[in-house]
Amino acid sequence: MTRLPKPALALIAVTAIVFAGACGGNSGTPTPPPITDPSEVITKSVAVVPAIKSLHLKLEVSGKVDIGALTGGSSGGLGLSGPFDLAGTTVEGDVDVVKLATDLKFALPGVLGLTGQVIVVDGTLYYKTSLTGDKFTQSKLSDTVPVSIPSPGALASADIAGGIASLRKSLDDAGAKATLLPDDKVNGKDAYHVSISVPVDKINAMLAQSGSTTAGLKLDSASVDYWAYKDSLLPAKISIVGSAGTLGNLSLTFTLTDYGKSVTVTAPAASDIKS
């Protein structure tokens, strides 16, 4: 039976927790005056860290991707190869940043009709998929993902200003250009909308130097759009779109809502866990 490996599932949860902690802010911040500089929208939004306690995350994926080209010919133990239609792929759930906990459900209709759920709570990973049955498999997160998840305290003491300055320099060096588009709405709330363009040749040069399975990958196009809520400057949505002749095309959209909303993440009942 084809199984989705634990590292892949755990990374979904870890990505949600770290992404939330890195992008968060305080929803009680007074409404700032209007901003007209697109770079200022991004830097001030990123700087609103790390008072966040919780949020709701939704990732939507679409496009057609050649798994073999993406992984350098390896399917990562999934037994998958060839092009896959990722339309309808989603990951959605609540994240408690303070307790480093999350409860996410995912669906990949174009990949064997895969669905499942990932829970991280008290340092333990629980997951189940439509390919592995109705009960959860349990393991220690530290045994599954060899990364260190920063605590809220560590995020609070991080050199945010220095990180932003470094990020801006890297984008400037790569020839990135930010354009402020007309205001938009995300989840019914007013939001700034910034379009970021980076020359494809610069990205391809970075990929060529990576030394990984992506070293032979060349992008034909790439774009990033960023939304920030106008009342708080909290990140609202991020859209990344790219295409490559050997890989296919891919679109990822992160939508962040319900900042500060009460979140309760609980472990599955013992009867719902595989022995």
- How far does Cα 219 stand from its chain's mean position? 20
- Determine what percent of the chain is predicted with pLDDT higher than 90: 40
Q: Give the integer Cα–Cα distance in Å for 173 and 188.
A: 36
Task: List the beta strands (DSSP E) in the chain.
Answer: 54-66, 83-85, 89-96, 101-108, 114-121, 124-129, 137-140, 177-186, 189-197, 221-229, 235-244, 248-257
E strand or H helix at 260, and its extent? none
pLDDT tens digit sequence for 128-153: 999 989 999 999 887 766 555 555 55
Q: Give the integer Cα–Cα distance in Å for 54 and 265.
A: 11
Residue pLDDT tens, the chain, 275 long: 445 555 566 656 656 665 655 554 454 545 567 899 998 898 888 877 666 788 999 999 999 988 766 655 544 445 566 678 899 999 999 999 888 899 999 999 988 899 999 999 998 999 999 998 999 999 988 776 655 555 555 555 555 556 666 666 766 777 788 899 999 999 999 999 999 887 888 777 777 776 555 556 788 888 899 999 999 899 999 999 988 887 889 899 999 999 989 999 999 999 999 98
| Other beta carbons less than 10 A from residue 159's beta carbon | 9
Please provide residue 267's backbone torsions phi and psi, each rounded to the nearest 5 degrees: -70, 150
Strand, helix or coil for residue 115: strand
- The answer to whether 38 and 194 are in contact (CB under 8 A) is yes
List domains and CATH numbers for the chain. Answer: 6-272 (2.50.20.20)
273 dihedral zone (left: phi>0; alpha: psi -120 to 50; beta): beta
Per-residue b or e along 49-79, where b marks 16 or more CB atoms closer than 10 Å to that residue's CB? bbbbbbbbbbbbbbbebebbbbeeeeeeebe
- The answer to whether 80 and 51 are in contact (CB under 8 A) is no
Of 78, 122, 72, 77, the C-alpha closest to 96 is: 122
Whole-angstrom distance between the N-terminal and C-terminal Cα of the chain?
Answer: 19
- The answer to whether 220 and 245 are in contact (CB under 8 A) is yes
Of 174, 188, 177, 191, the C-alpha closest to 238 is: 191
pLDDT tens digit sequence for 183-230: 999 999 999 999 988 788 877 777 777 655 555 678 888 889 999 999
